[in-house]
Chain A
């Protein structure tokens, strides 16, 4: 660990918001990993379809039970596994694709860069929710791996813009010129000099990206095309409660609260990380250089 990394980490740790949001996120992941030991019941166990269905929250069932007499708390705990792993893996994929695309465009520059940015503009103008909804619904059953893949390959545009902007501003810095003058290969320059220096903004964008994807996946599952039984995510559980929200409001309320708490934690962490790692970046993971250059209209 280099001195600058250690300094950044200690600055991050010194912010109260990162400590509690980080603690919530770690806690959520622990709950997801050890769901079997934390959850009072099995998420699919129909406890007593006659006497224990649609029970309001009580001491025995803090989040109530659903129409199949399943314990909602247990379902939400196991749902964390699906929601968090789908979001984390698809953001990992999106960040990888986006970083690679952005580095190539920004580092090579010229006509390659212009073409790649035109393609990006076209991709950006496809409404993501519509595309995902259509593909997931018409090509079903897609499965969890397919869902992660689709969320990943439609989620990297923002990251690649951000990375490209960072690469372009870093390209002519002294350390880059020095590395080139010393005869380092392109691959070595990118890996050893460029990426470590632009890692901060990428981490910020990925953190905010997780929050975004959790909401998106939940929305798709709510429309019935995302995660499905038996791999119920928070969105899937919410869907089962939303058909009769007036009668069994707890089936809709609690998975939704789980989403809100998780997304809020990731957004708070992302905001705090941005203050430390990339103060120029604007909310929503939009590169500052895209918008604060007031002299020219955005040409992409």
Chain B
């Protein structure tokens, strides 16, 4: 198992390097550069000077070599839109996204697994059918549309929650610690619920069919024959076996979550990686865009590694 994990880790590392190389060239070879934006009254001479200052006038291969060397020195380039190092921008944004995506991920797995198990035990009955329909509806919702509708209903028509942001921009610094915490929670609820409902639908659909695969198996029948209570059979014996495919989903869901948080953060003005990326792309902030794609690839790789580890936790056969 340890060797297997080490091999996976090495493979993920290679993949991340390849992804960052491809994205670097895709981005740098695009027409224009961070200084080509229209609007502001900068003369061509000034723009040319900036290009020279930040090395955008060099051949792309040389730019790539310089980029690699700066990464080796712990720097990920310079964010022109934020006028600060990319590493600083990432350090600000990543924790916020971790909070939103982490809370949503935990909630959606809890909700999705519960719903899937309940559905499988009620197979074909009205509850299963009603839940199947509801989940398929949520599964079919475009994330950005659902996010805006949530915002519209729960922030404007019924103004229960704040209409966006991570904290109250004006009042937060004047609040007592308790109020400041409550302020954070209130800002978190809408985006987290939106992301949770969108992701849990996929998990529940998956858990239901995994559970239906396991329930007719012999060890379930044996447990039932031995007089184990139905509740214990479902939630301890069968669920444990039916978790393996769902854990695989953790790795497969990461790209979905990266995309989903991009839309949800954009709509709710949540200042994390998603919003940072969207802004960086709009402002042609090349180093920041490259870093964002790499962070996305790292998240996907970590999701797959985590899925491998969890497989070993639920399936004793994989431990040695």
**Residue in B144, B145, B202, B317 whose CB lies within 8 Å of A284:** B202
Cβ–Cβ contact B152 & A245, under 8 A: yes
Verify if A112 is at the interface (C-beta below 8 Å from B).
no
By the criterion CB–CB under 8 Å, are A211 and B140 in contact?
A: yes
Give the chain A neighbours of B32 by CB distance below 8 A: 138
| Residue B92 is within 8 A (CB to CB) of chain A in the complex | no
Whether B145 lies near A283 (C-beta < 8 A) is: no
Chain A residue with Cβ nearest B286? A138
Contact at A246–B156, with CB atoms within 8 Å?
yes
Grouping DSSP codes into helix (H, G, I), strand (E, B) and loop, the B interface class, with mixed when no group exceeds half, is helix
State whether the Cβ of A4 lies closer than 8 Å to any Cβ in chain B: no
Q: Is A259 in the interface zone, CB < 8 Å from B?
A: yes
Is the pair A134, B23 in contact by a Cβ cutoff of 8 Å?
yes
Shortest distance from the beta carbon of B187 to any chain A beta carbon, whole Å: 19
Chain A positions within 8 Å of B182 at CB level:
none
Q: Which residue of B lies closest to A224 (CB)?
A: B282
Residue of A nearest to B281 (CB): A137
- Chain A residue at minimal CB-CB distance from B152: A245
- A271 lies within 8 A of B136 (CB): yes
On chain A, the residues within 8 Å of B142 by CB distance are: 215, 218-219, 235, 256, 259-260, 263
Also in contact, A138 and B284, with CB within 8 A (given A127-B255, A245-B152, A282-B245): yes
Residue B263 lies at the interface, judged by CB distance under 8 Å to chain A: yes
- In the complex, the 4 A-B pairs of residues with the closest C-beta atoms, listed nearest first: A129-B259, A138-B30, A256-B145, A127-B296
On A, residues with C-beta under 8 Å from B are 118, 121-122, 124-131, 133-135, 137-139, 211, 215, 218-219, 222-224, 235, 238, 242, 245-246, 249, 252-253, 256, 259-260, 263-264, 267-268, 271, 282-284, 286, 290-292, 294-299
Residue-wise, chain B 19-61 has the 8 Å CB interface mask toward A (1 for contact) of: 1001100110011100000000000000000000000000000
CB < 8 Å neighbour of B30 from A139, A224, A283, A295: A139
Q: Which residues of A contact B145 (CB under 8 A)?
A: 218, 222, 238, 252, 256, 259-260
The distance in angstroms between the C-alpha atoms of A290 and B315, with both chains bound, is: 16
> Can you sample 30 A-B contacts with CB below 8 Å?
A118-B11, A121-B11, A122-B14, A125-B15, A125-B300, A126-B23, A126-B296, A127-B254, A127-B293, A129-B258, A130-B292, A133-B262, A134-B281, A211-B140, A219-B143, A219-B263, A224-B282, A238-B144, A242-B267, A245-B151, A252-B152, A256-B142, A256-B145, A256-B148, A263-B140, A264-B137, A271-B136, A290-B248, A297-B4, A298-B307
> Interface on chain A toward B: helix, strand, loop, or mixed SS?
helix
Cα separation A109 to B209 with both chains bound (whole Å): 30
Please state if B296 and A252 are interface contacts (CB–CB under 8 Å).
no
Distance from A253 Cβ to chain B, minimum over Cβ atoms (Å): 8
Chain A residues in 8 Å Cβ range of B293: 126-127, 130-131, 134
Residues of A contacting B11 in the complex (Cβ-Cβ under 8 angstroms): 118, 121
20 further A-B contacts with Cβ under 8 Å, apart from A126-B19, A129-B262, are: A125-B15, A125-B19, A125-B300, A127-B255, A127-B300, A133-B277, A133-B278, A134-B293, A137-B281, A137-B282, A222-B144, A223-B266, A238-B145, A246-B152, A249-B152, A252-B149, A259-B142, A260-B137, A284-B252, A298-B307
Q: For the complex, give the distance between the alpha carbons of A282 and B143 in Å.
A: 22
Q: Which residues of chain A have C-beta atoms less than 8 A from B4's C-beta?
A: 297, 299
Contact partner of B209 (CB less than 8 A), chosen from A124, A215, A283, is: A283
Of chain B, the residue at the smallest CB distance from A295 is B317
Q: Which residues of A contact B202 (CB under 8 A)?
A: 283-284
Q: Which chain A residue shows the least CB distance to B14?
A: A122
CB distance from B2 to the nearest CB of A (A): 13
Closest to A139 in B: B30
Q: Tell me which of B136, B144, B262 contacts A130 (CB under 8 A).
A: B262
**Chain B 291-316, CB within 8 Å of chain A: the 1/0 string?**
01100110111001001100110010
Give the chain A neighbours of B278 by CB distance below 8 A.
133, 223
Residue of B nearest to A291 (CB): B245
Closest to B245 in A: A291
